Structure 1
Amino acid sequence: MVAGLTACGVIVAAISTASDLTQAFRMGYLTLTSPLAIFLSQAAGTALGCVISPVIFRAFQNGGDGITAKSYRGIDILGVSHHGLPRHSVLLCELAFSLALALGVLREASSRRRWRIHRYIPSTAAMAVAFFVSPKVSIGMFTGSMATYLWGRGDDSGHGARLLSPEVACGLICGDGFGSLLSSMLTQAPICIKFLS
């Protein structure tokens, strides 16, 4: 299950680029722009990112302590203004790290000793997947899991929920897609714009 969730997170992160390209093609269609020009500009932007990111990393790595410290201080000022981190953020990070470590140790120990509580200890790797994907995906997965769990508890025979839950999940995913389609059609009118000199 953890491998499946991790693969899901990686796939969602990887298809975001394809989604951006599709949105660019859509905008190009609305503005009567050449698809080849859009594709070449996206490819050029990706290539520039592949060159600029390592250069910036190398400049941080080889720039000396003074330059690196000043750069990180400038990034910090841009990100969180002059006040620095929130008041108890380091304490919260330490508590979250300690809790994740304790849960991992407890899960491994209960698995090896075959304790009955093992089923109820959450996997920290599976919990971490939620931080790699957008909140929309995490909320949807939580809602779907709760609906399936409650459906299974309320089903007297126990077979209906297990047999029909994949079909219901597909219907909800397709319904969400249709909702996104309708929303995008209502927010962006399907018109063509032509720019003349």
Structure 2
Amino acid sequence: MVVSQVIGTAMGCVISPCVFWVFYNAFTDMGQPGTAYPAPYALVYRSMAMLGIEGFSALPSHCLQLCYEFFFASILINGIRHSVGKKWAKYIPLPMAMAIPFYIGSYIAIDMCVGSLILFVWQKLNRAKTDAFGPAVASGLICGDGIWTLPSSILALAKVTPPICMKFLSSSDNARVDAFLGS
């Protein structure tokens, strides 16, 4: 396992800068909010740095109050989960799991929802195989998503456009697109 970690770390030292270089050359607006690759972590880390420099005055109004309220709400929800027993606890959401999309982005929540739905259906069809192979399939899908980043960036650099595009829009933007397509 240690040898695998050393090999993986060495590969990451070569692959990560290559992927960054490809993305940097493929997209002139990389890292800008609202683009194909907005770099959400960069915005989070910049905001944390600004908060460290400017203090709580850098936060929007009522932000600190909301942080306190959600902190105590998560403690309350976790307390309820632990007090109701295993039978009912599975129906109460984990506050940490609910916070992940706010930190990472909504695309992870959509992937997790689809994956959970597939796992739920698979469990109904064959519980034994799900228990045996579920973690391996999930790990493979996660790794596959990460590995696809390099070919995807190479195709983007070559200006290859996909034959189909899927995007989630707000209801008002969707109405404008439908009106445009209808005319």
Q: TM-score range by the shorter chain?
A: 0.3 to 0.5
TM-score if structure 1 supplies the norm length?
A: 0.43
More helix by share: 1
